[in-house]
Chain A
Amino acid sequence: MATFLGAHGYTPGPTQRPLLAGIMTGVVATVPAIAILYLFPSLRVEARILRLTEAMTVAAGCAAMAAAGAVYGRVFGRAANDRRGGWLFGMAFGFALWAAGATMTLPFASGGTVTAGKAAIGVFLAFIAWGAALGALYPHVHRRLHVSLESASKKAEVGPRAATAGRRPDERQVRLRQPSPEDRRRP
């Protein structure tokens, strides 16, 4: 899978920080989601089902969404930086989280108790809003976190050594250059 994604160019390059961008955007995107949860009585109901206070539910939600944002950055790779389609990828990811979390995991964790009525609508809308905000904001947040071209281009992996395509150094290689005093000091 990793090879396939690499060949098709989805793998983020050395200038990118998808996990950090995902964590940060995941947290920021909880703002509209929490607002929706408040507007509907969903937050109260969720807290009751989970036997937590509302504040603790929000805190747990933020932590979970930060992790989910990191997963989003990793899974979608370069596609997540698409400013035109980002909202859609995010919304799809939010929908998947809702399907997997709110409708599958939560009932099993709570002994089968789930939100219903307006509270269930609120949960659904909150996930969709979180996803759309995540996807729409991610490219903008990520762009600010990029390593500059100047410093990323100095990395050894993109230098002349790249011509060898990561082949292991030959143990029998002959040292063609005399070690400098600096080389000798290295462990």
Chain B
Amino acid sequence: MLRVVAFRKAIIAGAAGAWAWEAGLRLLALAGTPTFDIVRELGTMPFPNGPPGLWWPAGMAAHSMIGGAWALFYAYFFWARFRWPPPVQGLVFAIIPALLAAFVVYPQLQLMHLHQNAAQLDWRSYLLILTPEKWGGLLLGHALFGLTVGSLYDRPVGYPAGSDLARPKHLTRRAKRQRDRRREDDGRFIFATGIECSYPTTDRGKWRRDEMEGTRHYERWPEDFELSREVGVTHIRYGPPLHLIFRGPGRYDWSWCDEPIHELEEMGPNPIVDLCHFGVPTWLGDFQNPDIAAALREYASAFSERYPWVRFYTPINEMYVCSRMSALRGLWNEQLSDEGAFARAVINQANASIAMTDAILQRRPDAIFVHSESSEFHQACCPDPEIQQIATFENQRRFLPLDLIYANEVAPIMRDYLREHGICDSEYDAFMAREVPRRTVLGIDYYEWNERLIDSDGNAQALGELFGWYVIASQYWQRYGRTLMHTETNRIDASDAARWLWRQWHNVQLLREAGAPIIGFTWYSLTDQIDWARAIEEPLGIVDPVGLFDLNRDARTVGLAYKNLIDMHRDQPEYRDCKALRELVG
């Protein structure tokens, strides 16, 4: 799959392009300029001597269909390849059909209009057939077509925030169930994957990105779950769409997740339910809203009441990343670039995470909470004190959300930072006074861009895998001393993904051998993702080939490698009986 294509949008854009062409050239013809009349060329083929009332509709219909096909081709292969304004992209793309029309299609149309079955050609038939007027008309027509298609085909993924997403027809029949797998809470080491489910807003809260819609999970979930069972994962990180389910205070539309959750209950894999993944419902605004804690508490309570068998929860996914992207980098949700807004986003999410945890524990006292967080590290490039200070600060900032929910004293530099940005001591002390539930797991996500170099200008540059998961995860383990799980990784270069998987796994093995209580490993996600290489800031529809399966649900090499890895290890004594997990579930 090259791009996620909005079919209807592309076809409408292509047909509109054909109409724009026709309107432009009819105006020229009315002004007396001889030009290239593609509609007549096409329409007089079935009606050679027919009146305009016959050939014009036929020609227009044919040209609209051709326009639709070209626009789809544009959407798949050309759209967003260059960072130009969309009308310019369309205009440049139109050079391709224009050249084909001039040198192939037009000469062939002339042959098709002959009243004979064969003809003799020479090179002049291809090159000298068009008069200058016809060249002009052909180029102008294609320019109008390209500009129209480019202007109309935009934002192939996502939908206006707050609008009702059309309920998908279930195209996939319920997948064959080859094995009767049951959910297992029995202390086996967790081999997991996830369904990518991010749903932040962009464009100042007006546009909703929804990865489950883009990857067509809403339609293909039975197949997705069956594929995860075929790979052999025991658990799946799964985030029902909060923004579609939680319609307002006390109002829920559970139809978005009743069937999938029921299937997981019946067949597995065991879900680790992600209750809030990078976004909130439109009526809640964004992460600057102090009311999100109370609202999400209500949602968590309702969720755990409706699905009482669910035991594993991630209340809020990657609070640090969410706060950074929303309030510092200005890409999602509130789209601010302000330190104070960052601090407030962290506080609001930490409050919400705690409130959700408490609500779930009231319904399910033995619930297990997996706090998935991006593991980060910043390395100063040089002994410059200012650069060192930036690296030190960032290396403390990464811990802030976890420090708050785990009641771990922040470093003095962070305490000053919180005070400076309006977080009063009483608010902070409330976090520190909390008793952290026993069944809490620190989930550590790791990608190749998580380690950064602070360069001599004070900017963060991606370092690649410098120290690796082992070293970075050790820092988190030493700080919190909690049960750990490797909760995310993938590789954007599909040809390198199997290597990355095995190397991540060896990191996990080594840290386990060093004594860390690690209960699981995750390749994230089951299918490819959309626009993550650009932090889903723009709705381009570019497919990132990071999944165990591509968006056609065909296995990628890393999917086979993960199955190999699971098959090789799951029955080994140290994984069949994972002491750390057994202690947690017991």
Contact = CB atoms under 8 A, between A and B. Distances in A.
A48 B564 CA distance: 57
Contacts of B108: 103, 120, 124
A121 B550 contact: no
Contact of B554 (A48, A121, A146, A163): A146
Contacts, number: 154
Nearest to A41: B117
B118 A115 contact: yes
B118 A153 contact: no
A6 B494 contact: yes
Contacts of A153: 560-561, 563-564, 567
| Size range of the chain B interface in the assembly | 35 or more
Contacts of A114: 111, 118-121
A84 B550 contact: no
Interface in A129-187: 139, 146, 149-150, 152-155, 157-160, 162-165
Residue of B73, B115, B118, B498 with highest tally of chain A CB at under 10 A: B118
Contacts of B564: 153-154, 158-159
Interface in B472-520: 493-496, 498-499, 501-503, 506
A15 B554 contact: yes
Contacts of A45: 117-118
Nearest to B230: A149
A78 B550 contact: yes
A124 B495 CA distance: 39
Nearest to A121: B112
B120 A11 contact: no
Contacts of B506: 163
Contacts of A10: 2
Given A117-B114, A120-B108, A79 B560 contact: no
Given A78-B550, A85-B72, A162 B502 contact: yes
A49 interface: yes
Classify the interface of chain A: helix, strand, loop or mixed. helix
A149 B555 contact: yes
B398 interface: no
A113 interface: yes
A162 B76 contact: no
A78 to B, nearest CB: 6
Contacts of A13: 554-557, 559-560
B76 A85 contact: yes
On chain A, which size bracket covers the interface? 35 or more
A82 interface: yes
B59 interface: no
B119 A8 contact: no
A78 B552 contact: yes
B72 A88 contact: yes
B502 A163 contact: yes
A118 interface: yes
Contacts of B502: 160, 162-163
Interface in B275-317: none
Nearest to B547: A9
A116 B1 contact: no
B45 interface: yes
Contacts of B76: 79, 85, 88-89
B543 interface: yes
A61 to B, nearest CB: 18
Nearest to A49: B118
A67 B564 CA distance: 35
Contacts of B496: 7, 165
B231 A149 contact: yes
A112 B551 CA distance: 46
Contacts of B73: 88, 92
Interface of B: 1-2, 5, 7, 45, 69, 72-73, 76, 100, 104, 107-108, 111-122, 230-231, 493-496, 498-499, 501-503, 506, 528, 543, 545, 550-552, 554-557, 559-561, 563-564, 567-568
Interface of A: 3, 6-16, 41, 45, 48-49, 78-79, 81-85, 88-89, 91-92, 99, 103, 107, 112-121, 124, 139, 146, 149-150, 152-155, 157-160, 162-165
Q: Please list the 4 inter-chain residue pairs (A to B) with the smallest Cβ-Cβ separation, ordered nearest first.
A: A9-B545, A6-B495, A163-B502, A9-B494
27 contacts: A6-B494, A7-B495, A7-B496, A13-B555, A13-B560, A15-B555, A45-B117, A84-B5, A85-B72, A85-B76, A107-B121, A112-B122, A113-B121, A114-B119, A114-B121, A115-B119, A116-B114, A117-B116, A120-B114, A124-B112, A149-B555, A149-B559, A154-B564, A160-B568, A162-B502, A163-B503, A163-B506
